Each structure stands twice: as C-alpha cells, then as structure tokens.
Chains A and B, each alone.
Chain A
Amino acid sequence: MSIRTFRFLSQHVFFLILTFGGRLGVSLGPSLPCLSCPYVVGCGGICYLRFLQSPMGGLGMNWAVLSSGRGLAALAALGLFIALVALLGQSWCGWTCPFGLVQDYAARLRNKLRIREAIFTERTMAFIKTLKYVCFGYLVSTPVLITLGAAHPDLSLPYCAICPVKLIMPLLTGDTTYLNLDFTNPVLLTTSVVLMIFSGLVLVGMFFKTRFFCLLCPMSVLIGLFRPLYLLRVLKRPQACLGCGNCRRVCPADIDKTTPAIDPGSNCNPALVKPVTLSTSGCQGCFNCAQCCATDGSLAIKYGPWAIFNSSRRYAARFLKGRTAFFKALKGPGDRL
C-alpha cells in the first residue's frame, strides 16, 4: 500500500471522527493541532486555537489565576498540544485536518475540470505568507488586551469570529447558523462582515490554488513554534539530488527548499553535506515529495532517529504509474504477477 493510500484513509477517518464523532460520544479533547472546529455541532475534538484564545488567553497576566486550578488545566492542555505536535509534526495538517481534506477535494474537482492552478509570483507568495503571522498575532494578543481592558470584550474569541472554517465546516453539515450578519453591535457586525468576506475569498482561493487556506492558517504558525521537537519529518540528502523538480511540483505548499541550492564547495564530498530538513514553514507532512522522488535515497521520511521511508526509483516508478495494479506491481517477479 502506498503512503498516499494511507494518508487518504487517515484523512477520511479523521474527517468522520472530528466532524461527527461527538454524536457518538467520541471526544479527542481541546488540544488538537488541526482545524477540528467546535462550531460544528457534534464535533469529535476541538482545535487548540479555540482553547488558546479562551480560556487560556483570558487568563491574562494574572499569576494568581495562572497558578490556580484553571491555570494548571490550561498548562496541561498546552502540554498535551506540544506532545501531539512532537508526535506527528506537521502531518497533523496533511493527515488529519478536516478542513485540509475539504480543500483537497476542491483541488480534485479543479483537476477533474482540467482547470489551471493559480500560480503566485514569489512576491505575492511572500505577502500571503506574512498574513498568517498577522492572523496569529491578532489571535494571541487580543485576549490579553481584553484582560487589560484595551479591547472590546466581544472579541474574546477574536480569530474564531473571522475564521472561514467556522462558516464552511458547519455549512457542510447543513448548519447555516453562521451564514448571517450579526447586527447586535458594531464590533460583532464588523467581525461577521469580515467572516463573510474572508470565507468567500477562501472558497474561491482553495478552488484555484491547492490548500490555499493553509497559507493563511495560524495553526501552522503555532505548530511551527515547536519545530525542533518534531519526531516525524522529511529530510533531503542534497548530494543525491538530481534536481528533476518532481518534489517541488507535487508540494502543496510550494516549498522551494525541495531543490535546495548546493554549495559547490561541499556538494561533491558527500561526507561534508548535511541532510536538509524539508519540514519547514508551510509543510503539511503529506510526503508527496518523498514518494515522487525517483532518486534512490535522496529524500527520506524519518521518525526520531529512524528512517521509515527512503525515496527510490523503484517506488516512484510504481507510485506514479498509477493506483491501478499498485498492489500487484509491488510484488516482485518471483510472484509472476
């Protein structure tokens, strides 16, 4: 079975659990490093960003509160989140995120219709990538400002209020609650208008650009803070790379490090070249790159100290040949097909 098949199954299983699991009593807690939206009725786990804004954000700078039971519970949730990130790294995005799967289907539809994927120039891309840091900053700072009295209390869930996932995921389950403007006060009206615009942009964006929302996702910023802890990651041996560009083409995050420039002084002595990690900002841990690499040992998926997958011509030839006959093809000639 190919890694892609595993991932495909994992995405669907997680989608079902995280979207409908609550109806069967499943709850994976409030520390999930993926966009499992609590606004979906009957969700099976909660996105940690929600917890980070409130109650965690609401604790403010008050040490008394922080050291109380509420504070300790918040720290435990944070600890769990960090542990989960360490365990699966960025693969939370590629393997579990329900909204990620929705975006993948949008891309699939685009491909079925043979419509071109949008290409952003480097400058546009750089601009878009700064937006997720802006979102993250807004998400983290607003609750603190509220406790200091510097922001309107209706902004207690500042990011959730404008998060497109909050609108789109419930819609997928037939819930139109959030598809309206909130005229209660100017603050709520503004946030609901922003929500509409943002969601509209993302809906269009994710159709024309694979995993468009991931470029803006504050969760990827938060996960990225713990990069040194990742156990699961993709490494590249630049001294094995033939520069064919397969990995870069299949990367949903367009990570340019997939063909890193090689220092001519060291590339020729393999002992001097250190493996480069590809699990950088924006990586979704999907492992498309490692599977499409047709060069023996150029890309590797590692878990802790162990390489659990090495790229090879043999694997890539079968992987890219297509889904049909994949099982058969993996067996050697000894099996006589």
Chain B
Amino acid sequence: MDWVGKSGSPSAPHAEAGARASARREKIASQMAQDAAGEIARLRARADFVEQYSYFLDLLADRPDKRLAAIGKPVAAFLCQVAPLELIEAHGLHPFRLMGGHQAAERLSSPSLPAVMCPMLRSLLGSMMSLDQGPELAGLIMPTMCDWTVKFGSLSELCGLKLPAKLHLMDPPRVKNSPQTSDRWLKETWRLNDFLTAISGRKIGPKELSKAIRVYRQAFMALSDLIDLKRQSKLPQIWFTVITAAFYLDQVQNWTQAARAVWLAVGDQALVGPGSVQTDFKNASAAGVNLGPPDLSGRRNQAKKVFLAGSPIFFPNFKTLLLVEQAGLETVIDDFCSSERLLPGPVAVSDESFYGLMTALSQRYQLGCLCPTFADHYQVVNNITNLFDHPLFQGVIFHVLKGCHLFDLKSLAVEPNVKGLGIKFLRLETDYSREDRDTLLTRLEAFAGTL
C-alpha cells in the first residue's frame, strides 16, 4: 500500500510521449489495484478469516489517495519510525508511513534506477509515479536511515517524479548509548517540531503532546495484546501483518478500537495471566538467570514455531509470510518494523514539561529502534535470544531484501550469535518477484525439517 503522488507534467513538445507515459502509468496503476484486490480476496477466502479483520482489509482495499483524503486530517507522510509519531499527531497532522509493497510498481521506476536497489524504495517510487494526481500532503518527513533514503530526493528526480510536498530530512546518529549522540537526535527532533509547526501552522505545548502520547500508549497496548495472541498461536502472523499494515490508514484511535475488537474476538479465554503483574515464583531460579515471563509451553500446538526477523514486509507482498506458512512453520515472533516493531513501545516520562516530553520521545524512538542502521547490534541479538530458555520458537528465519545492505550485514552479525545458542538459523534472501517461490519453499521446507 503505498503512496500517492504527482509526477512531473509532460511539457508541450513531448505531448505524445506524455500520452504514452500516462497510458503506461494507468496500466501499472490498474495492475497494482488488481494485485491488491487479488491478495485481499485470497485473504478473505482463508479458513481462519474472522469478521473483525474486515475493517483492516477494507482500509487496504481503498485506493491510497482516496483513503488518505478520507482520514479527515491533513497528512504528513514519513519514512521510518524514528520520527516520533506523537509529535506529528500533536500538531493535528496524521502521520502516514510511506510504504512500497507492489511488484508492479517497480516496473515504472526501475528503468531509471540502479539495478541493485532496495525493492521497497523502488516500489515506493513506482507507486508514487503511478498516480498523476495525489491528495494534498502537508509534508514529507524522511529520517535518513539508510543510503537509499538519504538519496530519496535525487532518486525521485531520476524517475522524473515531482515530490508532492516539502521534503524534510532528518539526520539520525548511528551510534547509540552516548549522551552526545542522543543530544543530536534530540536537536533533530526539535528541528522536526519547527518543521511541523511551519506546515501545520499550529504551535503546540506540553498539553497537546501529552495527549498524543496517551493516544499512542493506548495503541501500543492494543498492539501488545495482539502480539500476545500471536505468541499463543491464536492470531496467525498473516493476519497480524494485515492489521499492522493498516495502521497508518486511519486515525489511530479508530485503529486501536478495531484492534481491541480483534483481541476480544480472537483471544477469547486467551490470556488471563501470563506476562501480567502476577509473579511466578517457580520459574525464577535462585541465580536469577531464568527470569523470563511465565512458561507458555502448555498452550502450544505441534506446528514448528519460528522467529521471523529482518527486512520489513509490506502489503500486498506477503510472499515470504505465505511460503513460511506453506512450509508448515508458524511465526510466533517477528521483529519487522512493519509488524511487531510498528511502535517503539510505550514512552515512559518523568519530566512532563514540553522539554521533558520531547526528550523522552526522542530517546524512546532512537534508543528503542532495532533498525540495523545503528552500529550496536546487541539489541537485535538480545531481542531474538532474550527468551532463549523459553521454548517459544525453534528457529530464526532472517528475511533479507536484496539491495538492503543493512539487513544483509545485520544477518551476518546475528547468525553466529543465534547459532551459538543452538538456535537454528535460516537466511532467506529475496526480492519482490514471484519467480523464486520454489527455491524459497525448498529452503523453508528443508529448514522445517531441521527443527
């Protein structure tokens, strides 16, 4: 689901070429719509479909430009969740994450782009090119998390794409856990505040920001409960991904409500206990090493459980998720910034002044982010191995999108650490094409056999 933009209007002498380009654009746009509709139809036809999922599927089925216009607020688009959503929300804007999941869209942009390139951004640029008239955008916020996003402006120029709104670049420090770099990100966050004030015409204070923080804490709680359902095999990863893919397509309060509805419908008699305040004396050994959340093993069925890590997965390209399912594997945890790590987590605040809130947000988004762009990789490893003594999953599948150097490098760093603990590890490198389905499936099946 993607994005929406205006491409440069053809000049008069090239009117004929312009007409051809426009025909091509329409063709791709209808292919994209067809792909999305096909995926949604297949999802609806699944045996595990529940009526409560309809809300999310309907959001995804809408044409993106119409969808954004229907949100009822000016929209500020952004890429990468290190830009605090709460800050955007507090300015009365709707934060919308730019995403590119359409293979068809790549056909529009790839002739103008490098051969080896992040498929997500290629698809995003293509999606933007496929629409000649998008809705009004208040702004475009781009934290330069990787080389592709740094060059987003020039890449869109290469594609002949005129960006629909002012581009605001943010420069994230790539080293965490140093007060100096955290200060730098705080300054960037203040700069974002200035930008948002300029585009929204609204100067905000601590009250507005506190309110936005509360709204997102509620959203996180809804997300967290769905994550728990997934851990317990009550919510399949594919539906979880559908729910998270729709996160930016409506006002966050509505999404939260719909997610609660899924929780109530799917999670009946689910978790009245584990992971909550109640304490578990038996599980905690005297050495204090075994202090994980309570054991859930009694609730598990026989399917092999895996941890899905790596490059994010965007609608409608659910190829990897479906292949994992097909290989007889069940994803109970993921660390995709498109799914479980959609929100960095609840923000704890002790200083409720505007400065204090900004500091808290800035730290939470930077320090809590597991993106491989950051130099320290121990957090990513920790996130995978944290519950190593709890048999929640038997293997790790690391999804690498070709052209994404960061996740590629990350997989190399993570692999020995995960294997060192005796956890099976499979690196799955792919792109948006469908041709490699068979080889991927072979790998996944063989991997399932080793678990």
Interface residues of A (CB under 8 A from B): 1-3, 110-111, 114-117, 210, 235, 237, 239-247, 249-252, 259, 261-262, 264, 267-271, 275, 288, 292, 294-298, 300, 302, 305-310, 312-322, 329-337
Can you list 21 A-B contacts with CB-CB less than 8 angstroms, sorted by A residue number?
A111-B352, A116-B351, A116-B355, A242-B382, A243-B378, A244-B345, A264-B378, A268-B381, A268-B421, A275-B291, A288-B348, A288-B350, A294-B345, A296-B386, A307-B281, A309-B279, A314-B228, A321-B217, A333-B267, A334-B268, A334-B270
Q: Does B109 contact A (CB under 8 A)?
A: no
Q: Are B352 and A275 in contact (CB under 8 A)?
A: no
Q: Does B152 contact A (CB under 8 A)?
A: no
Point out the residue from B270, B291, B370 that lies within 8 Å of A310, measured CB to CB: B291
Q: Are B420 and A269 in contact (CB under 8 A)?
A: yes
Extra contacts, 12 of them, besides A246-B347, A264-B378 (Cβ < 8 A), are A114-B207, A237-B289, A240-B292, A246-B368, A261-B177, A267-B382, A268-B385, A270-B289, A308-B279, A313-B345, A332-B271, A333-B263
Q: Are A312 and B293 in contact (CB under 8 A)?
A: yes
Query: Chain A interface: which of B87-95, B238-246, B356-364?
Result: B356-364
Q: Are A296 and B281 in contact (CB under 8 A)?
A: no
Q: Are A243 and B368 in contact (CB under 8 A)?
A: yes
Point out the residue from B263, B283, B347, B367 that lies within 8 Å of A243, measured CB to CB: B367
Q: Are A117 and B378 in contact (CB under 8 A)?
A: no
CA distance A315 to B271 in the complex (A): 13
Q: Are B217 and A243 in contact (CB under 8 A)?
A: no
Q: Are B348 and A250 in contact (CB under 8 A)?
A: yes
Pick the most buried of A210, A310, A316: most chain B CB atoms within 10 A of its CB. Answer: A310
CA distance A317 to B286 in the complex (A): 28
The chain A residue with its CB closest to the CB of B270 is: A333
CA distance A237 to B420 in the complex (A): 19
Which residues from chain B contact A235 at a C-beta distance below 8 Å? 288, 291
Point out the residue from B276, B359, B360 that lies within 8 Å of A312, measured CB to CB: B276
Q: Does B354 contact A (CB under 8 A)?
A: yes
A303: shortest Cβ distance to chain B, in Å?
Answer: 10
Whether A114 touches B354, Cβ cut-off 8 Å, given contacts A297-B386, A297-B387, is yes
Render B271-289 as a binary contact track against A, CB cut-off 8 A, 1 for contact.
1111111011101101111
Q: Are B269 and A334 in contact (CB under 8 A)?
A: yes
CA distance A292 to B224 in the complex (A): 14
Q: Does B79 contact A (CB under 8 A)?
A: no
CA distance A1 to B276 in the complex (A): 11
Q: Are A269 and B421 in contact (CB under 8 A)?
A: yes
CA distance A197 to B288 in the complex (A): 46
Which residues from chain B contact A329 at a C-beta distance below 8 Å? 221
A121: shortest Cβ distance to chain B, in Å?
Answer: 10
CA distance A224 to B215 in the complex (A): 41
Q: Are A332 and B289 in contact (CB under 8 A)?
A: no
A173: shortest Cβ distance to chain B, in Å?
Answer: 29
Render B337-357 as a binary contact track against A, CB cut-off 8 A, 1 for contact.
000000011111111111110
Point out the residue from A242, A309, A333 that lies within 8 Å of B271, measured CB to CB: A333
Which residues from chain B contact A302 at a C-beta distance below 8 Å? 284, 288
Which residues from chain B contact A210 at a C-beta distance below 8 Å? 350
Q: Are B221 and A114 in contact (CB under 8 A)?
A: no
Q: Does B318 contact A (CB under 8 A)?
A: no
Q: Does B160 contact A (CB under 8 A)?
A: no
CA distance A116 to B353 in the complex (A): 5
Q: Are A333 and B264 in contact (CB under 8 A)?
A: yes
Q: Does B218 contact A (CB under 8 A)?
A: yes
The chain A residue with its CB closest to the CB of B293 is: A296
Q: Does B388 contact A (CB under 8 A)?
A: yes
Q: Are A246 and B364 in contact (CB under 8 A)?
A: yes
Which residues from chain B contact A269 at a C-beta distance below 8 Å? 420-421
Q: Does B417 contact A (CB under 8 A)?
A: yes
CA distance A250 to B351 in the complex (A): 8
Within 8 A of A (CB), among B202-258: 205-207, 214, 217-218, 220-221, 224-225, 227-228
Which residues from chain B contact A298 at a C-beta distance below 8 Å? 386
Which residues from chain A contact B275 at a C-beta distance below 8 Å? 296, 312-315
CA distance A202 to B141 in the complex (A): 44
Whether A317 touches B291, Cβ cut-off 8 Å, given contacts A210-B350, A240-B386, A310-B284, is no
Q: Are A117 and B350 in contact (CB under 8 A)?
A: yes
CA distance A318 to B278 in the complex (A): 13
B128: shortest Cβ distance to chain A, in Å?
Answer: 33
Q: Are B217 and A317 in contact (CB under 8 A)?
A: yes
Which residues from chain A contact B270 at a C-beta distance below 8 Å? 332-334
Q: Does B26 contact A (CB under 8 A)?
A: no
The 4 closest A-B pairs by CB, nearest first: A307-B284, A244-B368, A332-B272, A292-B348
CA distance A249 to B281 in the complex (A): 29
Which residues from chain B contact A251 at a C-beta distance below 8 Å? 350
Which residues from chain B contact A240 at a C-beta distance below 8 Å? 292, 382, 386
Which residues from chain B contact A312 at a C-beta distance below 8 Å? 275-276, 293
CA distance A275 to B364 in the complex (A): 23
The chain A residue with its CB closest to the CB of B370 is: A242
CA distance A292 to B379 in the complex (A): 18
Which residues from chain A contact B370 at a C-beta distance below 8 Å? 242
CA distance A271 to B422 in the complex (A): 12
B55: shortest Cβ distance to chain A, in Å?
Answer: 18
Q: Does B376 contact A (CB under 8 A)?
A: yes
Whether A270 touches B385, Cβ cut-off 8 Å, given contacts A117-B351, A306-B284, A317-B217, is yes
Whether A331 touches B350, Cβ cut-off 8 Å, given contacts A244-B345, A310-B284, is no
Q: Does B176 contact A (CB under 8 A)?
A: yes
Pick the most buried of B228, B271, B288, B389: most chain A CB atoms within 10 A of its CB. Answer: B288
Q: Are A336 and B293 in contact (CB under 8 A)?
A: no
CA distance A246 to B292 in the complex (A): 19
Render B390-430 as a binary contact track against A, CB cut-off 8 A, 1 for contact.
00000000000000000000000000010011000000000
Q: Are B346 and A294 in contact (CB under 8 A)?
A: yes
Which residues from chain B contact A308 at a C-beta distance below 8 Å? 279, 281
Q: Does B383 contact A (CB under 8 A)?
A: yes
Q: Are B353 and A316 in contact (CB under 8 A)?
A: no
Q: Are A307 and B363 in contact (CB under 8 A)?
A: no
